[in-house]
Amino acid sequence: MRRPAGTGALRTAILMGTAAVLLAVWTVPVLWAVLTSVKNEKEVLAYPPTIAFDATIKNFREVLTGPTNIVPNLTSSLIIAVATTILTIVIAVPAAYAFARLKLPGRKPLGFYVLATQLVPPIGLIIPYFLIMNRIGWMDSYRGLVLIYLTFSLPFAIWLLVSYFEDIPREMEEAALLDRASRWQAFWHVVLPQARGAIGVTVVFVFLNAWNEFLFAVILGGATVKPVTVSMYNYINTEQTQWAQLAAAALMAMLPVIVLGIAAQKHIVAGLSAGAVKGVTRR
């Protein structure tokens, strides 16, 4: 049965049109932010909003070198994210291996416990943390914040890594054991090198989530611990919003994670799909 000529073209047109609309929906907000960030004050407040104008990098300069620049915030975020990532990997990788591959006593209940900790809503943690951190003097401290960050990064990392470890053929470890390797040596020399990709994906996710976190940071942070997510509010006050600078600051703050996201996008999707498909079974 032949299709009448022209339907193919119409179909393609509809498809492409819809695709274009969808692309617009998700790019316009960010593009508009980029546009706004290169406007000067006059252009910014112009209404109707303008698209053609003389671009300026003044706002970025202001945001990076001005009196209320966000460089200390970027540094703060970096410290938090790196510390959280390192700690998480060091703790989660061996644990995930134990869950995935070894005869861990109480494996099922423990696995279930790890899974359950992921279901705790952040607000349920920040309230006691606020009181406890106050009491022990850990408010506005990096160790306090990294500690609470572990509550979401550890279980997630374990969950993600377990499914990767399960994919490594058992026989390789057995061969290593027969080759007189101790269990630790088998883990270190044979299993771990194969998990490099998995660990990479985990690092990306943990870093991302730590960088973008807001609630914990806004409550437990202060003069010392002031990540970029909180610093946005420097540019908003009750009288007036400094639109252009806000846009510039937000873009600067998000630049690292956007770059990371685009560079690792294949791995991010693969990680989510693989991890989720297998990991969420009776752990």
Q: Which of residues 57-76 bind another protein (CB under 8 A)?
A: none
Q: Which residues, numbered 122-161, are part of the site for another protein (CB under 8 A)?
A: 122-132, 147-148, 150-151, 154-155, 158
Residues 202-221 that bind another protein (CB under 8 A): 208, 211-215, 219
Residue 82 as a binder of another protein (CB under 8 A): the answer is no
Tokens coding 165: 């470890």
Separation between Cα atoms, residue 83 and residue 181, nearest integer Å: 32
- The binder of another protein chosen from 57, 167, 174, 224 (CB under 8 A): 174
CB of 23 to another protein, least distance (A): 6
- What distance in Å separates the CA atoms of residue 283 and residue 105, rounded to the nearest whole number? 13
Nearest to 77 by CA among 146, 127, 155, 148: 146
- Rounded to whole angstroms, the Cα distance separating 186 from 35 reads 54
**Contacting range for another protein; rule: CB under 8 A; set: 54-62, 64-72, 78-86, 187-195:** 187-195
Residue 10 to residue 7: CA distance in whole angstroms = 5
- In 3D, which of 84, 63, 55, 67 has the Cα closest to residue 255? 63
| Residue among 78, 82, 83, 104 that touches another protein (CB under 8 A) | 104
Report d(CA 3, CA 24) in Å as an integer.
Answer: 32
Binding residues for another protein, total number by CB under 8 A: 111
Q: Rule CB under 8 A: is residue 262 a binding residue for another protein?
A: yes
Q: Which of residues 1-20 bind another protein (CB under 8 A)?
A: 3, 15-16, 18-19
The nearest distance, CB 12 to another protein, in angstroms, is: 9
Q: Which of 10, 193, 239, 240 binds another protein (CB under 8 A)?
A: 193
* Interface with another protein in residues 21-50 (CB under 8 A): 22-23, 25-30, 32-33, 36, 45, 47-49
Q: Where are the strands (E) in the chain, listed by range?
A: none
Beta carbon nearer to another protein, 58 or 278: 278
Nearest by Cα to 101 from 161, 160, 154, 166: 166
* Cβ count near 109 (within 10 Å): 10
Report how far residue 275's alpha carbon sits from residue 176's, in angstroms, rounded to the nearest whole number: 26
Is residue 89 part of the contact set for another protein (CB under 8 A)?
A: no
Kindly tell me which of 23 and 55 has the beta carbon lying closer to another protein: 23
